[in-house]
Amino acid sequence: MARAAGELIGGDGGSVPEYEALLDAVVRLAGRDRGALAAALQPVVEQWPGPYEPQAAAARRLLAVVRSAAGPVEPGPAVAPRWLETCQHEAVDLVLAARAGEVCSLLRRGVAVPMLLATSDSADGTLDPRELVMRLTEYEQAGVRPGPADLGQALLRCGGGPADADVVAAAEELELPEGPRVAAWLRAGGLPQPAPSVEREPGEPEPPSRRRRARVGRRILVGTAELPGRGDFPRPFWSLFRRFEPLIGCTHLLLRSRERHAAAVLPWHPEIVASRLLAQVAATADQNGSSDGSPDFLPALARSAGPAGPAVHLAVAYGLGARPAAGRAAAVEALAELAARARLDGALLGAGLARLVLLGTLKLPVVTASLRDAAEAPGGAAAVWPVVAAALPELLAAPGAGGPVRPHVPLLTLAADCAAACGARGTVPGVDTLAARPGSAPSAREARRLLRALTASV
Domain co-membership, 287 together with 386: yes
Integer Cα distance of 276 and 261 in angstroms: 14
Domain co-membership, 145 together with 265: no
Q: 281: which residues sit within 8 A by CB, 6+ positions away? A: 258, 291, 297, 298, 315, 318, 319, 322
For residue 40, being part of any structural domain is answered with: yes
Domain co-membership, 245 together with 366: yes
* pTM (2 d.p.): 0.93
pLDDT at 397: 81
For residue 443, being part of any structural domain is answered with: no
Integer Cα distance of 338 and 216 in angstroms: 30
Q: Which residue has the higher pLDDT, 75 or 134?
A: 134
For residue 427, being part of any structural domain is answered with: no
For residue 397, being part of any structural domain is answered with: yes
pLDDT at 442: 92
Domain co-membership, 278 together with 403: yes
Domain co-membership, 27 together with 146: no
Q: Which bin fits 206, alpha (ψ -120 to 50), beta or left (φ > 0)?
A: beta
Q: Would you call 220 helix, strand, or coil by DSSP?
A: strand
Domain co-membership, 286 together with 172: no
Q: 141 pLDDT exceeds 60?
A: yes
- Asked if 126 and 16 count as a contact pair (C-beta separation under 8 A), the reply is no
For residue 180, being part of any structural domain is answered with: yes
Q: 314 pLDDT exceeds 90?
A: yes
Integer Cα distance of 273 and 268 in angstroms: 10
Domain co-membership, 335 together with 382: yes
Q: Which domain holds residue 146?
A: 113-190
Helix-then-strand count for the chain, H and E: 21, 2
> What's the Cα-to-Cα distance from 60 to each of 53, 57, 256, rounded to whole Å?
6, 5, 12
Domain co-membership, 238 together with 359: yes
pLDDT band, very low/low/confident/very high, at 402 (cuts 50, 70, 90): very low
Domain count for the chain: 3
Domain co-membership, 237 together with 97: no
Domain co-membership, 402 together with 310: yes
* Mean pLDDT for the stretch of residues 172-197: 96
pLDDT at 75: 82
Q: 373: which residues sit within 8 A by CB, 6+ positions away? A: 328, 329, 332
pLDDT band, very low/low/confident/very high, at 347 (cuts 50, 70, 90): very high
For residue 135, being part of any structural domain is answered with: yes
For residue 424, being part of any structural domain is answered with: no
* Mean pLDDT for the stretch of residues 251-263: 74
**Listed residues 127, 156, 190: the one ending a domain:** 190
Domain co-membership, 127 together with 238: no
For residue 209, being part of any structural domain is answered with: no
Pairing status of strand 196-200 against strand 220-224? antiparallel
Q: Mean pLDDT of all residues in the chain?
A: 91
The predicted-structure confidence for 85-117, as pLDDT tens digits, reads as follows 668 888 999 999 999 999 999 999 999 999 999
Closest CA to 222 of 245, 256, 241: 245
Q: 208 pLDDT exceeds 80?
A: no
Domain co-membership, 102 together with 117: no
